[in-house]
Amino acid sequence: MRGIIKKFPGIALTSRGDPFATLARAIVGQQISVKAADTVWGRVIASVKEMHPTAVVKHGPKRLAKCGLSQRKAEYFVDLAKHFHKGTLQPHTWQELEDEAVIEALTQVRGIGRWTSEMFLMFNLMRADVLPLGDIGLQRAVAEHYFDGERVSLDQIEELAAMWSPYRSVATWYLWRTADPEPVLY
């Protein structure tokens, strides 16, 4: 890990700020390339104008889909906005909650699963010890740098990552840099 960190001086994991925008951007980025996600996100911003739950609810899923979102992702995006708008998600309480409690709250929203919740913990709440085992980029980087390119089980990754605790988010972020030097914005 020391060698990987040395290859990427001057960059660091930083918060993306607004909880709603962070989660919305994560939904946009699910299962598509970083470049495609950036393009779609730019179209969404241009169309919605104000990244606020009320504006997104008013915009509706049909107009969001015209920005390049699948119909399902557009529905997820609006569902997220409704949760914020109605107050069923309360981000002001999340700093005090344990990671699993935040994940439980977030996964009540359609389209937000464990991976998206973990990205939120890392990129918004700046939790230092998140290990997103389901992330394919992490799995590939661990295989490449620790197992001579051989895919390994999630249990093996978790066992290896124990030595990075309490900074598994940071280790993950640096491992991602080996595949894509430009940090992803969630």
Domains of the chain: 2-8+131-179 (1.10.1670), 19-123 (1.10.340.30)
Measure the CA–CA gap between 89 and 112, rounded to whole angstroms.
13
pTM for the model stands at 0.85
Measure the CA–CA gap between 142 and 152, rounded to whole angstroms.
8
Q: Per-residue pLDDT for the chain (186 aa), expressed as one digit of tens each?
A: 888 888 888 777 777 789 999 999 989 988 888 789 899 999 999 999 989 999 999 999 999 999 999 999 999 999 999 999 999 999 999 999 999 999 999 999 999 999 999 999 998 999 999 999 999 999 999 999 999 999 999 999 999 999 999 999 999 999 998 887 565 555
